[in-house]
């Protein structure tokens, strides 16, 4: 019986690449989105056209809202019984001086990036614990490892995911569930499209491999950590940054 994966924020970028990668492995894919309905449905159609044996499902939910997450998991339970793999990918960024960020902006960043992962993990665990199997992958950031000037709130939220990963992995290991994080570097996604050309060129030059990362680079790490071959790896943060933080 094929496994089922839920990817939050799956309609674009890293989430989209992950969805395509899991579908290629014959897994059922739940594509979570909040605002990007057209992109999510287009991805579902692409998966169904390319992989006739794969079931793809789109579900709208703001992961920062525990009620919406609960409703999403009711749909997943009805369709698939539960999610064997959870990729907490949904995230938002914010830039600016620490003193200029409003409380509402701060709360939104932590609501999606941190509490979104909390909400989805809590909802996914009953099924995983019952099955004595699960894979949870949290998408952090290299800025969660090193910190970034003028991105204090974003960096702090992504650092929180690393602490969440380390602590939860110890709690869930006896239940056959692994918990790991992936910390991308500068990836060619919509989130980084706000940077001007000079900033992107500078970041590219600072990356030892000499290029920006692609969503598929991050997806490859996620797919490995989700595999049975990675069953002895838990509590780790895999940095996919082309050597940026070396």
Residues recognised as catalytic? 154
Give the separation between CA 150 and CA 140, rounded to whole angstroms: 17
* pLDDT for res 75: 98
What's the whole-number average pLDDT of the chain? 95
- Closest alpha carbon to 241 in 197, 215, 207, 204: 207
Contact by Cβ (8 Å): 68, 62:
yes
Q: Encode pLDDT of 186-233 as tens digits.
A: 998 766 656 666 777 788 888 999 888 999 999 999 999 999 999 999
Q: Encode pLDDT of 106-128 as tens digits.
A: 999 999 999 999 999 999 999 99
Contact by Cβ (8 Å): 104, 34:
no
Contact by Cβ (8 Å): 112, 68:
no
Instruction: Give 219-224 contacts, CB < 8 A, sequence gap 24+.
Output: 219/14, 219/17, 219/18, 219/20, 219/21, 220/21, 221/182, 222/14, 222/18, 222/21, 222/87, 222/137, 222/139, 222/182, 223/18, 223/21, 223/22, 223/25
Give the count of beta carbons closer than 10 Å to the beta carbon of residue 96. 13
Q: Encode pLDDT of 202-212 as tens digits.
A: 888 889 998 88
Contact by Cβ (8 Å): 226, 5:
yes
**In the chain, domain spans:** 4-186+215-240
* pLDDT for res 195: 64
Per the structure block, which two tokens stand in for 215?
Answer: 């969503």
Residue 221: in which H helix or E strand, if any?
helix 215-225
Residue written as tokens 């600016």?
A: 96
Among 3.30.1490.70, 3.40.640.10, 3.40.50.720, 3.40.50.300, name the CATH number for the domain at 4-186+215-240. 3.40.50.720
Q: Encode pLDDT of 26-80 as tens digits.
A: 999 999 999 999 999 999 999 999 998 899 999 999 999 999 999 999 999 999 9
* pLDDT for res 129: 98
Give the CA distances from residue 216 to residues 14, 22, 222, in Å, rounded to whole numbers and listed in that order.
7, 12, 10
* pLDDT for res 201: 79
Contact by Cβ (8 Å): 90, 83:
no
């Amino acid at each position: 019986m094929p496994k089922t994966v839920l990817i939050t924020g799956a309609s674009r970028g890293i989430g989209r690449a992950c969805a395509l990668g899991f579908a290629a492995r014959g897994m059922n894919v739940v594509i979570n989105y909040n605002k990007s309905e057209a992109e999510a449905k287009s991805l579902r159609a692409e998966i169904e056209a390319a992989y006739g044996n794969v079931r793809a499902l789109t579900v709208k939910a703001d992961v920062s809202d525990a009620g919406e997450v609960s409703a999403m998991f009711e749909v997943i339970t009805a369709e698939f019984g539960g999610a064997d793999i959870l990729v907490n990918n949904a995230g938002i960024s914010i830039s600016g001086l620490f003193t200029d960020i409003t409380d509402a902006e701060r709360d939104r960043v932590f609501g999606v990036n941190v509490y979104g992962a909390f909400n989805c993990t809590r909802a996914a665990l009953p099924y995983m614990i019952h099955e004595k199997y699960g894979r949870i992958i949290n998408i952090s950031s290299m800025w969660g490892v090193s910190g970034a000037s003028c991105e204090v709130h974003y960096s702090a939220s992504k650092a929180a995911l690393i602490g969440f990963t380390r602590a939860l992995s110890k709690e869930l290991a006896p239940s056959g569930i692994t918990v790991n994080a992936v910390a991308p570097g500068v990836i060619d996604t919509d989130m980084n499209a706000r940077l001007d050309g000079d900033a992107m060129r500078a970041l590219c030059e600072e990356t030892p491999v000499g290029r920006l990362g692609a969503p598929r680079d991050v997806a490859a790490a996620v797919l490995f950590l989700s595999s049975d071959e990675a069953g002895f790896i838990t509590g780790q943060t895999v940095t996919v940054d082309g050597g940026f933080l070396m």
